[in-house]
Amino acid sequence: MSRTHTAAGQTLRYDRPATDWEREALPVGNGALGAVVFGGVARERLQLNEKSLWTGGPGSKEGYDHGNWPAPRPDALAEVRRIIDENGAMDPEDVAGRLGNPAYASTDGIPGFGNYQNFGELVLDVPDAPASPVGYRRGLDLTQALATVSYGDAREGEGEGPTGGEARFSREYFASHPAQVVAGRLAADRPGRISFTLGFTAARDGALVTAEGGRLVIRGALADNGLVYEGQVQVLHDGGTRTDGDGRITVTGADSATFVLSAGTDYADSYPDYRGADPHARVTAIVDSAAAQPYEALRAAHVADHRALFDRARLDLGGRMPDVPTDRLLGSYTGGDSSADRALEALYFGYGRYLLIASSRPGSLPANLQGVWNNSNTPPWCGDYHTNINIQMNYWPAEPTNLAETAEPYQRFIEQLRQPGRRTAESMFGTSGWVVHQNTNSFGFTGVHDWPTSFWMPEANGWLVQQLYEHYLFHHDEDFLRTRAYPAMKEAARFWLANLHTDPRDATLVVSPSYSPEQGAFTAGASISQQIVSDLLTNTLEAAEVLGGDDEFRTELKAALDAVDPGLRIGSWGQLQEWKDDFDDPADTHRHASHLFALHPGRQIERGSAGAQAARVSLTARGDGGTGWSKAWKINFWARLGDGDHAAKMLAEQLRSSTLPNLWDTHPPFQIDGNFGATAGIAEMLLQSHSRSGVVDVLPALPGRWAGEGSYDGLRARGDFTVGVAWRQGAATEIRIVSGSGVTARLRSPLVAGPFRVERSDGRPADHTVRDGVLVLPTDAGEEYRITAQAA
Ligand code: FUC
């Protein structure tokens, strides 16, 4: 049905080496390791990352206690609640002074919070590299997760001998998840032409680099916290000679050469020490085993592993990839309906999925603000995990675009926050439950710093566990719900049952103090706080009902849900209020539109409702500007409102003004959440399943400029469905749905308004009914159903 998901259509390509890390270099990664490839001819650079290499945390010279208050403040919280009850609002500076952490009142970062680090750079110096390479190409094939460089050497007068003239050189790099290495191969179409010196540029003092037996070993400990790191690179060559020495490995006159690299630290994600085994034995074993495999086998295992994820979903917007470099394609992008624009959009969608696979695989930390790629020891916002939108957004595409496995590190990360988060709940709030605030690190930072407009967000716990519950909704995996999602949800809900405050004005339960990111005053019951807590209590109750038992707790949840303010007020100018009082300024264009949580990623606001109309008014007033992630969120908002044209407009804004030539999202600077949020937004335009009615909406927000012809496969819907659709002139012509768990499917599509046929995979007709424009289709687990429009 769909056009071929070709490598050409899913490749980023350039005709020059990269010189700028942020704008031009191309990323590969296996979750734990990241490498950014420059593709230089005479000097190749691979800037490297190992995701657990963080300063800060336990053992930090700056001191560390998870952001908890250094001494108890028994009355501080009650006092803030009292002032807000009395005055209706409070200055952020005043609240930060009382509830913030003075230990963190530093201007250059948060002491002990740490920074995600650059590991260093692998450098390959190539002697006699052509000064003017011929036919230079650099690419990143998303279908195979291979970064490639190729160029010709056509020096005249050097003859055609085995070591002279006219050769074509090719390099290839990948980051293998199964083998846990970054691998590279240098080859030429003439024998004996591969010569280079491989060395390492450290990102800090104190790294010891040795070379012996073709193996480079890099070892050291971070000065701040003593975290031990080690990297090893094994160089292998066919033909020619090799010499080691002085921290470098030189290969001369080989036919081809390969390197495999691994790195690790003694970090572990467990409270309270966050330390595990020395990385030496593990890194040695990984590199030994990868080096013992033939390169082709290593590569084939990597490609198979990647394809098993990447190939699950495909999108064809009817575009054809023109034969131009990606930076030029981006430069000429207008957001119109040209074939090239649609090809770029489909590439960008694939890239978001690629980046998630590359930066988030089981066995390491989740994707941070830059995924896994960072070339600085003091990156923007510490390269951390912001929990007031950013890390959540990173994982929005995981379920809908059929990459659930990539969310495992995030799920585990949330679970690992419970222990430190419990201490923070106890020491700051005096209650049970667990909590985290507006940003965290790899060492369970669950307390606070004191930046007035962004330090306080205890309801982040509810926002995080929402995605655990979503995993259940997408898979109907009761075991996951019982053992992983529900315990974390329940403990977050417990925190809120103990911490909701009765608003003396109307006796509703509110979050107090509450702060709408990242503007305005502290109040009681800002909409986002109320919406998140309502979502949490609702989801937890639903989960408890699925699992059975916990009767008393369920009664408590119901009582709280009856009393909680849902945060869904419509204000004086028809807007969805951002605060409980109507403070909203129609001229406010702040990048956060947090009060629309209930529209997305929440599910309190249904399409077509009064709430949706109010959300539209708010969103229109906020405007189409914003930073990268802000635009990405707006794609999702407009898609949920069913306005495909406006969603597509936001996608165009994102590509035109928040996307770098290597297609990385820029806040600015580079911040990966926008890539992920936009990818999820595209999926949201094509398929939605969040409605409490259980309806799966097919092509809910297809923009006019994609309407002509297109198709997708492998998007996922809640209810454990995998959906493929083909459309023409804006109307679905075929819908295919695979049922994972045998739940009855409820599909909304104009297709079922006309004559249509529903077949099982063996061609037999499938029983179904149509009610209010919705196809109700009982399904068998594992069966595929095909719904096709028939000529009238
Ligand atoms: C949130 C946003 C900022 C930035 C930061 C990493 O605080 O408000 O724009 O994205 O996270």
pLDDT confidence of residue 110? 76
- The ligand 1 atom at the shortest distance from the C-alpha of residue 390 is 11
User: Ligand 1 centroid vs 112 CA: distance in angstroms?
Assistant: 20
Q: Locate the ligand 1 atom nearest the alpha carbon of residue 592 and give its number.
A: 8
Distance separating alpha carbons of residues 533 and 109, to the nearest angstrom: 30
Confirm if 735 and 749 have CB atoms less than 8 A apart.
yes
How remote is the CA of residue 267 from the centroid of ligand 1, in Å?
26
Are the C-beta atoms of 533 and 560 separated by less than 8 Å?
Answer: no
Q: pLDDT band at 746, cuts 50/70/90? A: very high
**Cβ contacts of 776 within 8 Å, gap of 6 or more:** 744, 745, 746, 768, 769, 770
Give the confidence band of 104 by pLDDT, cuts at 50, 70, 90. low
Cα–Cα distance measured from residue 337 to residue 328, given in angstroms and rounded to the nearest whole number: 17
Token pair for residue 3? 């056009």
pLDDT of 105 above 50? no
Virtual torsion, Cα 765, 770, 775, 779, nearest 10 deg: -50
CA dist 177 and 180 (Å) reads 5
Residues 250 and 242: beta-carbon distance below 8 Å: yes
Cα–ligand 1 centroid distance for 593 (angstroms): 12
The pLDDT, as a whole number, for residue 161 is 46
**What mean pLDDT is predicted for residues 547-571?**
98
381 Cα to the center of ligand 1, angstroms: 8
Helices 551-563 and 527-547: crossing angle in degrees, nearest 10, is: 150
Residue 2 has pLDDT above 80, yes or no: no
Query: Is 390's C-beta closer than 6 angstroms to any atom of ligand 1?
Result: yes
Ligand 1 midpoint to CA 390 (Å): 7
Counting from 1 in the atom list of ligand 1, the atom nearest the Cα of 380 is: 6
Band (pLDDT 50/70/90 cuts) for residue 792 is confident
Quote the crossing angle between the two packed helices 339-359 and 295-310, to the nearest 10°: 110
The residue whose C-alpha atom lies closest to atom 8 belonging to ligand 1 is: 518
Secondary element (H or E) of residue 63: none
Asked whether 538 lines ligand 1 (CB < 6 A), one says: no
Tell me, using a 6 A CB cutoff, whether residue 454 lines ligand 1.
yes
Band (pLDDT 50/70/90 cuts) for residue 285 is very high
| d(CA 791, ligand 1 centre) in Å | 51
Q: What are phi and psi of 399, to 5 degrees?
A: -80, -55
Question: What local confidence, expressed as pLDDT, does residue 1 receive?
Answer: 33
Closest CA to 781 of 744, 735, 747: 744
Q: Give the pLDDT mean for 657-686.
A: 98
Q: Is the Cβ atom of 368 under 6 angstroms away from ligand 1?
A: no
Atom of ligand 1 nearest to the CA of 384: 6
Query: Which pLDDT score is estimated for 295?
Result: 98
What distance in Å separates the CA atoms of residue 655 and residue 348, rounded to the nearest whole number?
9
For the whole model, what pTM was predicted? 0.97
Rounded Cα distance between 493 and 509, Å, is 14
Structural domains in the chain, CATH included, are 11-55+116-312 (2.70.98.50), 382-622 (1.50.10.10), 697-789 (2.60.40.1180)
Q: Which atom of ligand 1 is nearest to the CA of 438?
A: 7
Q: In this structure, what is the dihedral angle of CA atoms 712, 715, 717, 723, given to the nearest 10 degrees?
A: 50
Q: Residue 493: which H helix or E strand, with range?
A: helix 486-499
CB atoms < 10 A from the CB of 79, how many? 13
Is 484 a pocket residue for ligand 1 (Cβ < 6 Å)? no
Q: Are 505 and 376 in contact (CB under 8 A)?
A: no
Confidence (pLDDT) at 158: 52
If you measure from the C-alpha of residue 102 to the centroid of ligand 1, how many angstroms do you get, rounded to a whole number? 22
Q: Cis ω on the peptide bond leading into residue 162 (within 30° of 0)?
A: no
Provide the 3-class DSSP secondary structure of residue 22.
coil
Q: Which of 74, 62, 66, 122 is nearest to 98 (CA)?
A: 74
Ligand 1: centre distance to CA 631 (Å)? 13
**Nearest CA to 100 among 69, 55, 60?**
69
> CB under 8 Å to 414, separation ≥6 — which residues?
464, 465, 467, 468, 488
From 780, 603, 595, 628, select the one nearest 688 (Cα to Cα).
Answer: 603
Q: What end-to-end distance do the CA atoms of the chain give, in Å?
A: 21
> 96 CA to middle of ligand 1, Å?
18
Angstrom distance (rounded) from CA 146 to CA 140: 6
Q: Could you tell me if 369 and 652 are in contact, meaning their C-beta atoms sit under 8 angstroms apart? A: no
Percent of the chain past pLDDT 90, that is, above it, reads 95
Ligand 1 contact via 369 beta carbon (within 6 Å): yes
pLDDT over 90 (residue 128) = no
* Ligand 1 in reach of 438 Cβ (< 6 A): no
- CA–centroid distance, 384 to ligand 1, in Å, is 11
Residue 163: the pLDDT is 47
Query: What sections of 500-526 are H helices per DSSP?
Result: none
Distance 427 CA to ligand 1 centre (A): 27
- The one-letter amino acid code at 625 reads G
Phi, psi of 591 (to 5 degrees): -65, -35
Q: Is 370 in the pocket of ligand 1 (CB under 6 A)?
A: no
Q: Is 386 in the pocket of ligand 1 (CB under 6 A)?
A: yes
pLDDT tens per residue, range 137-153: 999 999 999 999 999 98
Best residue among 455, 629, 633, 675 to mutate for probing ligand 1's pocket (most ligand atoms within 8 Å of CB) is 629
Dist. CA 450–CA 265, nearest whole Å? 30
pLDDT of residue 281: 98
Q: What is the token pair recorded at 111?
A: 């002491």
Question: Smallest Cα–Cα separation from 237: which of 198, 283, 199, 179?
Answer: 198
The length of the chain, given as a count of residues: 792
Q: Is 667 in the pocket of ligand 1 (CB under 6 A)?
A: yes
Which pLDDT value is given to residue 259? 98
Residues 34-45, mean pLDDT to the nearest whole number: 98
Our answer on whether the CB atom of 490 is closer than 6 Å to any ligand 1 atom is no
| CB-neighbour burial class of residue 71 (10 A; exposed 0-12, middle 13-18, buried 19+) | exposed
Q: How far is it, in rounded angstroms, from Cα 393 to Cα 402?
A: 16
- 38 CA → ligand 1 middle, Å: 28
CB distance 516 to ligand 1 below 6 Å: no
Residue listed under structure tokens 């949706």: 612
Residue 790 CB burial class (10 angstroms; 0-12, 13-18, ≥19): exposed
Q: Which atom of ligand 1 is nearest to the CA of 667?
A: 10
> How many Cα neighbours within 13 Å face the side chain of 410?
35
Provide the sign of the torsion angle of the four alpha carbons 339, 393, 641, 581, taken in this order: negative
Compute the chain's Rg from CA coordinates.
27
Give the mutation target among 389, 627, 666, 673 for probing the ligand 1 site: most ligand atoms within 8 A of CB.
389
How confident is the model over 368-376, as a mean pLDDT?
98
How far from 607 is each of 434, 670, 770, CA to CA, in Å?
33, 33, 20
H runs (alpha helix) in 388-459: 390-394, 408-416, 418-424
Task: Quote the percentage of the chain above a pLDDT of 70.
Answer: 97
Q: What is the dihedral of CA 661, 666, 670, 671, to 10 degrees?
A: -130
- What mean pLDDT comes out for the span 221-239? 98
Look at residues 127, 450, 175 and name the one whose alpha carbon lies nearest to residue 286.
175
Residue whose C-alpha is closest to residue 673's, from 333, 352, 348, 326: 352
381 CB within 6 A, ligand 1: yes
Q: How confident is the model over 757-773, as pLDDT tens digits?
A: 999 999 999 999 999 99
Ligand 1: distance of its center to the CA of 388 in Å? 8
Each residue's pLDDT tens digit, 469-501: 999 999 999 999 999 999 999 999 999 999 999
Residue range 194-223: mean pLDDT, rounded = 98
Quote the Cα angle for 465-95-378, to 5°.
65
| pLDDT exceeds cutoff 70 at 369 | yes
Does any ligand 1 atom lie closer than 6 A to the CB of residue 627? yes
Mean predicted confidence (pLDDT) in 737-742 = 98
Q: Give the mean pLDDT of 92-111.
A: 78
Residue in 518, 634, 665 to alter for ligand 1 test, most ligand atoms within 8 A of Cβ: 518
The whole-angstrom separation of Cα 150 and Cα 173 is 12
Measure 579 CA to ligand 1 centroid, in angstroms. 20
Q: Which atom of ligand 1 is nearest to the CA of 369?
A: 6
Q: How confident is the model at residue 116 (pLDDT cuts 50, 70, 90)?
A: very high
- What are 208's strand-pairing partners? 219
Average pLDDT over the chain, rounded to an integer: 96
Distance 293 CA to ligand 1 centre (A): 44
- The amino acid that residue 760 corresponds to is R
DSSP three-state, residue 609: coil
β-sheet with 696-698: strand ranges across: 687-688, 696-698, 745-748, 774-777, 769-771
**637 Cα–ligand 1 center, Å:** 18
Q: Is the pLDDT of residue 325 over 90?
A: yes
Q: Choose one of 374, 449, 454, 675 to mutate for the ligand 1 pocket test, by most ligand atoms within 8 angstroms of C-beta.
A: 454
- Separation between Cα atoms, residue 362 and residue 335, nearest integer Å: 36
To which residue do tokens 């800090």 refer?
A: 204
Distance CA 249, CA 236 (A): 10
pLDDT digit string (tens) for 149-189?
A: 999 987 544 545 444 558 999 999 999 999 999 999 999 99
Tell me the CA distances in angstroms from 152 to 149, 327, 360, one per residue in order: 11, 22, 36
C-alpha–C-alpha distance, residues 64 and 75, integer Å = 24
Atom of ligand 1 nearest to the CA of 381: 6
518 lines ligand 1 (CB under 6 A): yes
Q: Do residues 360 and 367 lie in contact, with contact meaning Cβ atoms separated by under 8 Å? A: yes
Token pair in block for residue 30:
């296996």
From the CB of 720, is ligand 1 less than 6 Å away?
A: no
Substitution candidate for ligand 1 out of 390, 393, 515 with most atoms within 8 A of CB: 390
How many angstroms separate the alpha carbon of residue 275 from the centre of ligand 1? 29
CA distances 170 to 136, 150, 248, Å, are 10, 4, 22
Closest CA to 146 of 300, 263, 3: 300
Ligand 1 atom nearest to CA at 518: 8
